[in-house]
């Protein structure tokens, strides 16, 4: 498939990257039913680490099987699938070349004591990503955690190694920390910071949650209230996140979060589209539905992103 002008314009923003990185970004942007539009839907299946298998998959038992998710992503025409190493190894050979893979190279888990600092362990490598044929590596950072600076150092090194091997980096940028209330994790100013930090760390694709409209940081309150920053609408808040991504020079996709009703998922997708976001990275709202229902939902999301 010939690269579209839209994708070419996106890739032009990655001025310092080598042909390998740009080629893999192009592969993801050109793949699936949204290929060439500049929009993306990615299926992330890292919830088994984060929430455990029963909480993640028991509502739809076929989803215990990694190959179920490969087939779902392929049949729905998604841009990529993202997951930890063991999960991708269970389907990488069978589905080689059929769907771009993003190897999630760090993870936490629900059994870590709640009093522990928010952190993730490195569970895979750039070499693993190359071995299984992944198109990118993925890494979570927790701005706000007392471990954040160490996480920044870890991804700086992994990103450098990945880029040297032609692999882009996707950063999950989730504000969490000892001094952040749970409601502040999705505050508009905090999420914008998370987007900007990920961009400054060299992320090629940034994943964040949709922001709430709340302001959590006293230091930034006047900038928001006195500036021309839209807080009232979801689309306006998405647009602000895109501005924080180096004036829209980086791809930003927004998390689907925990399972919601269909109309809420579609409302969020329209706001992402209207705010200039690049799409959704949506897991539980798909694989926790029966397969036919999930396919119908993803069909509608594709139609929304196509306008």
Give the residue numbers marked as catalytic.
207
- Give the count of beta carbons closer than 10 Å to the beta carbon of residue 111: 6
Nearest CA among 192, 231, 223 for reference residue 209 = 192
Following DSSP, what letter does each residue of 60-129 receive, concatenated? SGGGGSHHHHHHHHHHTT-SEEEE-HHHHHTTTTTTTTTS-EEEE-EE--TTS-TTSPS--EE---HHHH
Answer for the pair 288, 63: CB distance below 8 angstroms, yes or no: yes
Answer for the pair 244, 281: CB distance below 8 angstroms, yes or no: no
Listed in sequence order, the residues at least 6 apart from 285 whose beta carbon sits closer than 8 Å to its beta carbon are 256, 257, 258, 259, 260, 265, 297
CA angle 18-19-24, nearest 5°? Answer: 110
């Amino acid at each position: 498939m010939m690269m579209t002008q839209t994708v070419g314009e996106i890739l032009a923003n990655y001025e310092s990257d080598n042909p390998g990185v740009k080629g893999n970004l192009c592969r993801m942007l050109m793949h699936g039913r949204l290929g060439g539009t500049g929009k993306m839907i990615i299926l992330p299946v890292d919830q088994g680490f984060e929430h455990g298998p029963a909480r993640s998959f028991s509502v739809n038992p076929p989803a215990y099987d990694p190959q179920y998710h490969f087939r779902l992503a392929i049949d729905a025409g998604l841009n990529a699938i993202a997951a930890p190493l063991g999960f991708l190894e269970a389907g990488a050979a069978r589905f080689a070349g059929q769907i771009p893979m993003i190897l999630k190279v760090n993870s936490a888990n629900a059994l870590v004591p709640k009093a522990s600092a928010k952190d993730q362990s490195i569970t895979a490598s750039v070499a693993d990503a190359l071995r299984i044929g992944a198109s990118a590596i993925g890494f979570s950072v927790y701005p706000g955690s007392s471990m954040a600076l160490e996480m920044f150092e870890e991804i700086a090194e992994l990103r450098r190694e990945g880029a040297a091997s032609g692999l882009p980096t996707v950063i999950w940028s989730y504000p969490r920390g000892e001094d952040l209330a749970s409601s502040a994790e999705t505050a508009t100013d905090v999420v914008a910071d998370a987007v900007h930090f990920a961009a400054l760390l060299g992320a090629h694709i940034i994943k964040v949650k949709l922001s709430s409209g709340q302001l959590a940081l006293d230091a930034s309150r006047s900038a928001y209230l006195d500036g021309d920053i839209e807080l009232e609408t979801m689309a306006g808040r998405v647009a602000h996140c895109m501005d924080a991504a180096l004036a829209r020079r980086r791809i930003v996709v927004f998390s689907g979060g925990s399972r919601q009703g269909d109309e809420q998922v579609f409302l969020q997708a329209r706001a992402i589209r209207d705010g200039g976001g690049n799409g959704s990275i949506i897991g539980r709202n798909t694989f926790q539905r029966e397969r036919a229902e999930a396919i119908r939902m993803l069909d509608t999301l594709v139609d929304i992103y196509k306008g």
